[in-house]
Amino acid sequence: MLSKTYPRICVTGGAGFIGSHLCRRLIAEGVEVLCVDNYYTGARSNIVDLIGNPLFEVLRHDITMPLFIETDAIFNLACPASPIHYQYDPVQTTRVSVDGSINVLGLARRTGARVLQASTSEVYGDPAVHPQPETYLGNVNPIGIRACYDEGKRCAETLFFDYHRQYGTSIKVARIFNTFGPHMQPNDGRVVSNFIVQALRGEPITLHGDGSQTRSFAYVDDIVDGLIRLMLSDEGFTGPVNLGNPTEISMRILAETIVDIVGSSSELVFRPLPQDDPRRRCPDIALAEQALQWKPTVTVRDGLERTVAYFSKTLAA
């Protein structure tokens, strides 16, 4: 069905963590995929096995520059998503969200393509409402060290809806909550990859604060399924829609679970909380369940076991 509706699909950020999984799923559905990436945080190793597949093509390109291609649909996943990466060059991070969105939306307007924006739970900031529904407007510090990502993504959503209202562009907006799985980078600064790498190396596992702050982790296959369902949803449904796991877990329990899976002797050590780090984060997915008939199916424990196996093999190599 997907290949008949959208035979040619562009995935910006296609060599990244979620993007590379999405490319594989689209190819399995018979779609011709153009993967666009500048490899700032994406990795060739994530897609090397796809090169040579007649349905797969790679274009090295920075989406802060205009993109001239032909496509039936666009998944816009291009943006550094971990604090260590998006804070390294915050001005460029904002440009990727703002200039990148303008370029992707311009491409969609020219070709008549439907375009899906991979937004983020970070648009809610440090939420005062829990769990977070799509109607919550957020609690974001616009001048903090995370604002380049938080406000960049919020502005991207603004652009998507303005293009939809002003030009009739067919849009979809997904707010993705914490996601994990194979193809995460060992040094990306995300909590799951940090904990797994530290546990596999027998190093102390670093928690911030007292470890009681919570997140909700979804396995990457579930998120990819949600993105595809959103892309195929009725024209009148634009989102934004939360995609994430409503099962909340504290950072301390996460660390202890990973230590148990790895069989590690790592001890837990505690450091001060980073600036503007949210205390709680959990999606209300009622809209996704109703509009997309979607909810996560992979448990956190099962997903962690698969991810530990991936990192164990990667670090050994």
Burial class (CB in 10 A: 0-12, 13-18, 19+), 285: buried
CA distance 223 to 225: 5
Closest-CA residue to 240 (of 283, 281, 190): 283
Among candidate residues 149, 163, 219, 310, the one labeled active-site is 149
CA–CA separation, 206 vs 255, rounded Å? 9
Q: Euclidean distance between the first and final Cα of the chain, in Å?
A: 38
Cα–Cα distance between 83 and 93 in angstroms, integer?
11
100 alpha-carbon distance from chain centroid: 16
Task: Count the residues in the chain.
Answer: 317
Query: How far, in Å, CA of 60 to CA of 25, rounded?
Result: 21
State the residue for tokens 């546990």. Answer: 199
Which tokens go with 25? 């799923």
Q: Which residue has the tokens 């609690």?
A: 139
CB 205 within 8 A of CB 251: no
DSSP 232: T
Q: Which of 203, 211, 204, 191 lies closest to 269 in space, CA to CA?
A: 204
149 noted as active-site residue: yes
Which burial class, exposed, middle or buried, applies to 143 when counting CB atoms under 10 A from its CB (0-12, 13-18, 19+)?
exposed
Active site residues: 149
